[in-house]
Amino acid sequence: MPRASRQLEGTRVAERLEAAFPGVVTRSNDEWVEVVPARVIEALQWLRDDDELDAAQLSSLTAVDRHNHFEVVYHLQSLDRNHQIVVKALLTDHDTPALPSSYPVYRGALLQEDEVYDLFGIRFDGHPNLRRLFLWDGYLGHPLRKDFLQLEGRFPGLPQFPFEEKGVQVR
Amino acid sequence: MTTATDPYVLNIGPQHPSTHGVFRLRVVMDGERIQDVEMIVGYLHRSMEKLAEERTFTQNIPFTDRADYLAGMSNNLGYVLACELLSGVEVPERAQYLRVIFAELQRIASHAMANGQLVSDAGAWQTPLLYMWREREKILDLFEMTCGARLTTNYMRIGGVAFDPPPEFYPAVNQLLEELPDRIEEYYRLLIDNEIFLARTTGVGAITAEDAINGSLTGPMLRASGVPWDLRKAEPYCVYDRMEFDIPVGRHGDAHDRFTVRMEEVKQSVRIIRQALDEMPSGAHKTEIPLALRPEPGEAYARVEGPRGELGFYVVSDGGPAPYRFHVRAPSLINLSLLREMAIGASLPDAVVALGSIDIVVGEIDR
């Protein structure tokens, strides 16, 4: 699996995190560390304030729809120590996903959480002004969900990719 | 005697010259001072991230230069770097140098636009802007002779670049590099000590280093606050580790420092392009890759130092010919995170200058 040149090993971060907050880490590998969604704030806050990990800046916050669950992906970085940490939170409730907002820890999450809420429908509890950023209120569905194109009234999208064998579905 | 005033709502935009595109600010004013501000965006939303899931990795390259249409080369570069990290495609040496040259030319063009617009917002209506566009125009001509397009360049490819520059490119770029330092001096003479410009920009929209880091600000915004953070040094991509250049930083984090940092970065870009042109080897400019590239399942997050800040591309593959998820970490959007802090308490003309100093591109905010 590809890892950026300045990215810390997820397992190493997981060890430190687990020592500070037992039970907070659910999975980890070479690239990322996955934490319990309800406890993401304490994990992020500790990563931010820890001297060695020093994740002072939230570089990017986004989500991935995996059909039956969502992954919320936080890319954190330390400017002093020049490294990157990838934290994920897995939301198993696909219909009404929600997790605590990271705005109290990183103010840079303000608009990125709005964006994820708009396009994925993931609610961030405690966000000061959660709203649809690009689309208007009352817009049907959340476009970046994989089942969006199957919604009633939507164009169904490509049946298959060019250069593909017949029968291979676009996801 | 004081007169009580009622707060009132003022809409700036969506069609307004100082919002730099279709961007709307809903401002609550109390007399001359701003009480609250809300940005309303989405007028240019094209849902590129969704569209990308139905197109092959190569077919997605043109989307990236239409996101930030003032920095097409940088956007192309960030995306192909993410695809290369994901698929392990090797890039020939010559292509690495060409990428650096075009990314830096793009930075000069974009900074000329940003600074010109800032000066325009500060009241010097159009004249300095059009002066700065002279250089941008020449850079766009260089892009046109190389890849046929001026803004939507679609120049980078997974595994290299699309074309080798034509022979007439080299004299033209050398002439531009000759002229640029004189031109920058001209702008400095015209603006940097200009009393009106100083009065309009000093202390406007100031952000401290701590706030800038916590608010995810990057690029010239962060450096103007005094944090010497540049991905070209911190996480060198292409051949930036072989280039000699400095990171200009500001001290106060205000609009004037952002202007100065961008000006100084143009000087550094000239240095980088000179070195890259000198050291560029001959050879292939592209490796051949399959028509439908199928990276192993996994994910990659590649970042470049775009003109507006950290430009990240998060690409997830499930083994198919198209990205499973394609996300742009758009610096224009994220640099607006602290807009309320910058605007509240300021007067309306100051808020316009503060917004101009952020250097937003609405195509990238909305995508």
Would you kindly state where each structural domain of chain A is located, as residue ranges?
Answer: 10-138
How is domain A10-138 classified at the CATH fold level? Answer: Beta Polymerase; domain 2 (3.30.460)
The DSSP H or E segment spanning B265 is helix B255-279
Query: Cβ contact (<8 Å) for A1 and B298?
Result: yes
List CB contacts of B241: < 8 A, sequence separation 6 or more: none
β pairing state of A33-35 and B309-317: unpaired
Q: How many CB atoms lie within 10 A of CB A51?
A: 7
Of B216, B299, B336, the CB nearest to A58: B216
How far apart are alpha carbons A162 and B351 in whole angstroms?
Answer: 49
Tell me if B348 sits within 8 A of B34, measured CB to CB: yes
**CA–CA min distance B127, chain A (Å):** 34
The residue type found at B324 is Y
C-alpha–C-alpha distance, residues B250 and B259, integer Å: 9
Residue B3 is assigned to a structural domain of this protein: no
Q: CB distance A108–B214 less than 8 Å?
A: yes
What is the β-pairing status of strands B8-12 and A123-125? unpaired
Q: A16, A8, A22, A139: which is closest to A86 by C-alpha?
A: A8
Instruction: Assess whether pLDDT exceeds 60 at residue A170.
Output: no
Which of B234, B258, B240, B238 shows the shortest CA–CA distance to B248?
Answer: B258
Give the integer Cα–Cα distance in Å for B165 and B147: 8
CATH of the domain at B241: 1.10.645.10
The per-residue pLDDT for range A84-124, each reduced to its tens digit, is: 999 999 998 888 899 999 999 999 899 999 999 999 989 99
Domain that holds residue B173: 8-366
What pLDDT is stored for residue B268 in this prediction? 92
Q: Which amino acid, residue B18?
A: S
Structure tokens that stand for B220 in this block: 């010239």
The amino acid occupying position A37 is P
8-state DSSP, B78: H
> Quick check: B259 and B201 in contact, CB under 8 A?
yes
User: Judged by CB atoms within 8 Å, which residues 265-294 of B form the interface with A?
Assistant: 291-292
In the DSSP assignment, the letter for residue B321 is S
Nearest C-alpha of chain B: how many angstroms from A55? 10
**Residue B341, both tokens:** 């802090």
d(CA B103, CA B67): 16
Q: Is B227 within 8 Å of chain A by CB?
A: yes
Which chain A positions have a beta carbon within 8 Å of B320's beta carbon? 161, 171
Specify if B181 maps to a domain.
yes
Searching chain B, which residue's CA lies closest to the CA of residue A156?
Answer: B54
Closest Cα in chain A, distance from residue B331 (Å): 10
- Name every chain B residue with its beta carbon within 8 A of the beta carbon of A1: 296, 298-299
Does a structural domain hold residue B39? yes
Q: Is residue B60 domain-resident?
A: yes
Strands A83-91 and A25-28: unpaired
| Contact yes or no for B300 and A112 at CB 8 A | no
| B179: its two tokens | 């002229």
Residues of chain A contacting B229 with CB distance shorter than 8 Å: 79
Question: For chain B, how many structural domains are there in total?
Answer: 1
pLDDT at A169: 58
Q: Is residue B1 part of a domain?
A: no
Cβ separation of A161 and B320 shorter than 8 Å? yes
Best residue of B24, B28, B50, B207 to probe chain A, by most A CBs closer than 10 Å = B50
Among B residues 32-91, those touching chain A with beta carbons less than 8 Å apart: 38, 41-42, 45, 47, 49-50, 53-54, 56, 85-86, 88
Backbone φ/ψ region at B327: left (φ over 0), alpha (ψ -120 to 50), beta? beta
CA distances from B327 to A17, A115, B183, B300 (A): 27, 11, 38, 11
Look at B85 and A110 and tell me if their CB atoms are within 8 Å.
Answer: no
ipTM for this prediction = 0.87
Residue from A111, A103, A143, A142 nearest B331 by CA: A111
Taking an 8 Å cut-off on Cβ atoms, the answer to whether A2 and B300 are in contact is yes
- pLDDT at B107 (0 to 100): 92
Nearest to B337 among A2, A108, A157 (CB): A108
Given a contact cutoff of 8 angstroms between Cβ atoms, the answer to whether B333 and B364 are in contact is: yes
Is residue A49 within 8 A of residue A20, CB to CB? The reply is: no
Task: Please give the C-alpha separations between residue A38 and each of A19, A56, A126, B97, B343, in angstroms, as whole numbers.
Answer: 18, 21, 12, 46, 33
Q: Are B70 and B331 in contact (CB under 8 A)?
A: no
Measured between alpha carbons, how far is B185 from B234 in angstroms, rounded to an integer?
29
Max CA-CA distance within chain B?
79
CA distance B315 to chain A (A): 10
A107 phi, psi to nearest 5 deg: -70, -20
pLDDT tens by residue, chain B, 367 residues: 677 778 889 888 787 777 777 888 889 988 888 988 988 888 889 888 988 888 888 889 999 988 888 888 999 999 999 999 888 888 999 999 999 999 999 999 999 888 888 888 887 777 888 888 888 899 999 999 998 888 888 899 898 898 899 999 999 999 999 999 888 888 888 887 788 888 888 888 889 999 999 999 999 999 999 999 999 988 888 899 898 999 999 888 889 899 999 999 999 999 999 999 999 898 888 888 877 788 888 889 999 999 999 999 999 988 888 888 999 999 999 999 888 888 888 888 888 888 888 888 888 898 8
pLDDT of residue B119: 87
Q: CA angle at residue B46 from B45 to B52, to 5 degrees?
A: 135
Residue B171: its pLDDT value, please? 93
Q: In what order do the strands lie in the sheet with A33-35?
A: A25-28, A33-35, A83-91, A70-78, A57-65
Query: What is the spatial distance between Cα B78 and Cα B84, in angstroms, rounded to a whole number?
Result: 10
For the entire predicted model, the pTM comes to 0.89
Question: Cα torsion at B48, B54, B57, B58 (round to 10°)?
Answer: -80
Select from A136, A138, A75 the least CA-distant residue to B334. Answer: A75
